[in-house]
């Protein structure tokens, strides 16, 4: 069969992409403890289902916008600096 036929890899690739995106959003990212611009310490908190940690190193909140996502790895990087 030609390109794009039922045996092509595109349906599988599309399914995997959707599954990865859904797990990223559904799994959520917890907001780890942080220190704000005033030097105040804030304890970590969990975001609800279908939300994740957003914001900056000095201000964190839960949101649904993937463009504002602040991963736990990025949050740990904040602590180092």
pLDDT of residue 45: 96
Distance of alpha carbon 6 from the chain centroid: 33
**Predicted model pTM:** 0.62
Would you list the domain boundaries of the chain? 28-78
Say if strands 52-55 and 41-42 run parallel, antiparallel, or are unpaired: unpaired
pLDDT of residue 68: 93
Strand, helix or coil for residue 41: strand
One pLDDT digit (tens) per residue for the chain, 81 residues: 545 555 555 666 555 444 445 445 445 579 999 999 999 999 999 999 999 999 999 999 999 999 999 999 999 999 876
């Amino acid at each position: 069969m030609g390109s794009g036929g039922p045996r092509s890899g595109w349906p599988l690739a599309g399914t995997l992409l959707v599954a990865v995106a859904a797990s990223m959003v559904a799994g959520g990212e917890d907001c780890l403890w942080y220190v704000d611009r005033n030097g105040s310490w804030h304890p970590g908190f969990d975001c609800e289902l279908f939300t994740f940690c957003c914001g900056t190193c000095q201000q964190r909140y839960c949101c649904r916008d993937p463009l504002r996502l602040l991963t736990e790895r990025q949050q740990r990087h904040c602590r180092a600096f």
